[in-house]
Amino acid sequence: MSMDARASSKPQSSEISGGLRTAGAVFRAIFMVSLMLVTLRVSMPQSETIWTAYETPGDLIRVALGVVVCVAIAVRLFMAPKDNHAYRTWFYLGLVAVPFAVICVFAVWRSILFAG
């Protein structure tokens, strides 16, 4: 097999369709927002309100870490992937991860959503 034959057998570029790119971006956004919502809920103070978080050092640290993590996720949310392979990966990962993430959001927030 000649060198030219081997070089031509490799894929030239990893082009993806617009639909796959859009679906990957949507799955990525839904997953990251879900991750932010779960982080926000878990980092809330165990005391009654957010304004009393300073009374307990553990609650204050939890809130501070939660804010830092949420800001980091929000920054990454607005940074688009640089290559087509990342959109393909987010599409396939999103098929599994997004339903699980949405279920986790409802499970974590159920006490607030269905209070009554």
49-75 mean pLDDT: 84
Tell me how far apart the alpha carbons of residues 101 and 37 are, in angstroms, rounded to a whole number: 10
103-111 mean pLDDT: 87
Q: What does the pLDDT read at residue 56? A: 78
For residue 73, pLDDT beyond 90: yes
Indicate the pTM of the whole model.
0.78
How does pLDDT run across 87-98, given as a tens digit for each residue?
999 999 999 999
How does pLDDT run across 9-57, given as a tens digit for each residue?
544 456 888 899 999 999 999 999 999 999 998 888 776 666 666 677 8
Query: Where do the structural domains in the chain lie, given as residue ranges?
Result: 18-113
Alpha helices in 45-83 (DSSP H): 57-77
Kindly state the tokens that stand for 36: 């932010």
